[in-house]
Homo-oligomer: A and B are copies of this chain.
Amino acid sequence: MSDAHDVLFRTLADPTRRAIFERLCREGEKTVGALTAHAGVSQPVVSKHLGLLKRAGLVLDRHEGRQTHYSAKVAALAPLVDWTSQMAGFWENRFDDLEDLLQRMDQ
């Protein structure tokens, strides 16, 4: 059972990887070298994280000469937003149920 939520949560769970994604969100397109400069880990590690982010659909890559430019694909966060509001929704529904119950008890 490896649905969309799973991939998103797992991909964003790692601090280093999430930091890379955040930087792409804040500052836009970056090369692997630029990302490595502030990532605190080696270049191969950054490449690996970018690969996972790409597989999760969270980033896009664009090859230009010998550099690769990565950019955030914010739309990929949609399932996460959906999931969150769904959870909140269930909670509110149960709250409504409680209200109904209290009303029926009142009668």
Contact residues of A with B, CB < 8 Å? 1-2, 5-6, 9-10, 12-13, 15, 18, 21-22, 25-26, 28, 72, 74, 77, 80-81, 84, 87-88, 90-91, 94
Contact = CB atoms under 8 A, between A and B. Distances in A.
Contact of A18 (B9, B22, B90): B9
Contacts of A77: 84, 87-88
A84 B28 CA distance: 16
Q: Which of A12, A22, A94 has the most CB of B within 10 A?
A: A12
- In the complex, the count of this chain's copies comes to 2
A91 B13 contact: no
A25 B72 contact: no
A13 B9 contact: yes
A30 to B, nearest CB: 12
A76 B69 CA distance: 35
A20 to B, nearest CB: 12
Contacts of A5: 18
